[in-house]
Amino acid sequence: GHGIFFYPSGPDYALLWYTYFQDGTPTWYYVQGAQPGANGVFNGIIYRSAWNGGANHLVPVGNMLLTPATTSTFTMAYNLDGFTGSEPMQAFLTGCPTVGSGQLNVSTHWFNAAKSGYGYSVQVTPNYEFHAVFAYDGLGQPRFLAAERAGAFDAAGASLPLQQLNGFGPLGAYVPPVRTTIGTLTRTYGANTISTMATSGTYFGGI
């Protein structure tokens, strides 16, 4: 019910951490730092994002250390709002599906460069796809939504249930996330690209 998307960005790594506030409602953080040296340890600044009606505003609220254990596992340690914690993490999705005669290599973060601050993280494999929507509520608080689809991959247009997840904060005791369908996410894929992506939904639970 929580995790990070991890992307190279020039000389840096950029991360999107989807997780929860202490009240269990969904939120996300942006993390950026220089690519690690020989020891492989990544050290990035954690930013909280907010939307002011026309643009996002980033405020540093801590830092994150990622220490690799194997090629697909690492320890995530963080200092967030003055509190510290850590947990083991492992790779969730790898591999690309085939569309036509080539691989569909679209698993990355997609956003509007002219109006950055929100967007979609897309992960597609031959038999499963996962989409995280990084958005804001009516007060400008960062929120994430999720949509997923299992089964044989189909590049044609599909409508996926869009879900709001309520779970546990980074420093709280584990509770299974509660998923509630609040709308739909639609998407179509083209020749190694996303042709269309759209969401429609309504938050619940006081958001």
Residue with tokens 């963080």: 78
Q: How many residues does this entry show for the chain?
A: 207
Distance CA 34, CA 72 (A): 20
* The pair of three-digit structure tokens given for residue 180, joined into one six-digit string: 């509630």
Alpha-carbon distance values, 43 to 15, 17, 64, 188 (Å)? 11, 14, 6, 36
Alpha-carbon distance values, 151 to 112, 125, 163, 178, 201 (Å)? 30, 10, 19, 23, 24
| Residues contacting residue 37 through CB under 8 Å, at least 6 positions apart | none
pLDDT at 101: 62
pLDDT at 23: 92
Task: Give the pTM.
Answer: 0.91
pLDDT at 102: 67
pLDDT at 98: 62
Q: How far apart are the first and last CA of the chain?
A: 18
pLDDT at 79: 97
Nearest to 196 by CA among 207, 206, 185, 188: 188
Backbone angles phi, psi at 5, to 5 degrees: -105, 135
- Beta-bridge partner residues of 172: none
Distance CA 10, CA 12 (A): 5
In tens digits, the chain (207 residues) has pLDDT values of: 899 998 888 899 999 999 999 999 999 999 999 999 999 999 999 999 999 988 999 999 999 999 999 988 999 999 999 999 999 999 887 666 666 666 777 778 888 888 889 999 988 887 888 999 999 999 999 999 999 998 877 778 789 999 999 999 998 889 999 999 999 999 988 777 888 899 999 999 989
Assign 115 to helix, strand or coil.
Answer: helix
Alpha-carbon distance values, 163 to 46, 81, 179 (Å)? 25, 27, 6
Radius of gyration in angstroms for the set of CA atoms belonging to the chain, rounded to a whole number? 17
pLDDT at 189: 84
pLDDT at 97: 64
- In contact, 14 and 32? CB cutoff 8 Å: yes
pLDDT at 95: 65
- In contact, 85 and 62? CB cutoff 8 Å: no
pLDDT at 195: 86
